[in-house]
């Protein structure tokens, strides 16, 4: 069964889920949550948080999240719960990625997670441990369950029952799993991410001078904590900024320059490297 949601074509409601510092998630009427598979993801250019419970399951590939200034590198079998008000940002994704994202409405979580072992799911604060690695057997069980739920989305009654079972089943398997330790995200790394987002034309030398660190030290530290080189991360941030701008304006060159690319040639190279197509092959209906 193949699941492919390319970042170029995801719906606006999902794009907003990955781009806003604080958001109110949109649920279908009478639905207690939603889920979707992804084999490519948008980087979170800004840290964001929301009021509902989120589950990320990695079936293959790798993603790196920064959650409350701590970096977590997630590989096959990783299970990450993101709790209300927990600030997070996706900074890297690679390999043959297959990720499922599940979001559970707060009211439903409070009703269902009533047992002593399930009660932490209903809390506003994240527990001390919210990222673990599942066994291959438990990962396979949850993959089958999530795939079944995708097929059942047209059946309201079955989908709602399955969503509740997925949440409790995933949590029960999670609390018995191996903990994944995070690494504190150094303040210079966090500030560099913010500068890249807020001042896309700022040179790396200017950033190093502002942070009072050497270029070599910042480069080593950034790569160590995110798995990406500084130029690679900056290019991804610029590309995400381009996609955001292009939703409102269909001028390729203007959006590329405003996103921080120094020239069309640079934009063309980065765009093709990440999407496998030339920019003029990309079409996105502008938002009216």
pLDDT in tens, 214-262: 999 999 888 887 777 888 888 888 887 888 788 787 788 899 998 889 8
What is 186-281's CATH number, 3.40.50.720, 1.10.10.60, 2.60.40.420, 1.10.10.10?
1.10.10.60
pLDDT in tens, 149-165: 988 888 889 999 999 99
Residue 180 in this model has a pLDDT that exceeds 80: no
Whose tokens are 């690695």? That residue is 133
Helix boundaries (H) for the chain: 12-17, 106-112, 136-151, 156-175, 187-198, 204-211, 215-226, 230-246, 252-258, 264-275
Report the chain's mean pLDDT, rounded to a whole number. 79
Q: How far apart are CA 217 and CA 200, in angstroms?
A: 21
Please give the average per-residue pLDDT across 121-129, as a whole number: 76
pLDDT in tens, 2-49: 332 222 222 233 223 333 333 444 555 668 888 888 766 555 556 677
- CA distance between the termini of the chain: 35
pTM: 0.60
* Domain ranges across the chain: 12-183, 186-281
- As beta bridge partners, residue 36 has 101
- Classify domain 12-183 by CATH architecture: Sandwich (2.60)
Nearest Cα neighbor of 8 from 41, 47, 48, 35 is 41
DSSP state, residue 181? P
B/e letters for 166-183, b = 16+ CB within 10 Å, e = fewer, are bbbebbebbeebeebebe
Q: In the structure encoding, which two tokens stand for residue 109, read together? A: 């979580």
pLDDT of residue 42: 58
pLDDT of residue 40: 61
Residue 202 in this model has a pLDDT that exceeds 90: no
pLDDT of residue 206: 92
pLDDT in tens, 256-280: 998 889 899 999 998 888 777 888 8
């Amino acid at each position: 069964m193949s699941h492919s949601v390319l970042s170029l074509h995801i719906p606006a409601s999902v794009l907003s889920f990955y781009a806003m510092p604080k958001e109110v998630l949109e649920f279908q009427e009478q639905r207690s949550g939603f889920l979707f598979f992804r084999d490519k993801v948008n980087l979170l250019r800004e840290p964001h948080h929301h009021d509902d419970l989120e589950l990320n399951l990695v079936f293959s590939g790798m993603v790196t999240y920064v959650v409350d200034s701590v970096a977590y590198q997630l590989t096959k079998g990783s299970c990450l719960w993101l709790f209300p008000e927990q600030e997070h940002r996706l900074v890297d994704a690679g390999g043959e990625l297959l990720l499922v994202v599940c979001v559970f409405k707060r009211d439903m979580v409070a009703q269902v997670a009533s047992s002593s072992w399930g009660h932490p799911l209903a809390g506003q604060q994240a527990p001390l441990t919210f990222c673990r690695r599942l066994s291959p057997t438990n990962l396979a069980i949850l993959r089958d369950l999530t795939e079944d739920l995708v097929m059942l989305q047209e059946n309201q009654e079955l989908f709602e029952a399955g969503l509740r079972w997925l949440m409790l089943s995933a949590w029960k398997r999670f609390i018995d799993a191996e903990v994944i330790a995070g690494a504190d995200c150094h303040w210079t790394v966090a500030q560099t991410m913010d500068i890249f987002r807020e001042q896309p034309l700022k040179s790396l030398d200017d950033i190093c001078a502002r942070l009072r660190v050497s270029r070599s030290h910042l480069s080593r530290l950034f790569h160590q904590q995110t798995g990406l080189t500084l130029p690679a991360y900056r290019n991804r941030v610029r590309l995400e900024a381009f996609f955001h701008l292009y939703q409102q304006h269909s001028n390729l060159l203007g959006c590329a320059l405003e996103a921080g690319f120094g020239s069309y040639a640079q934009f063309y190279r980065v765009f093709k490297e990440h999407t496998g197509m030339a920019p003029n092959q990309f079409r996105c209906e502008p938002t009216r």
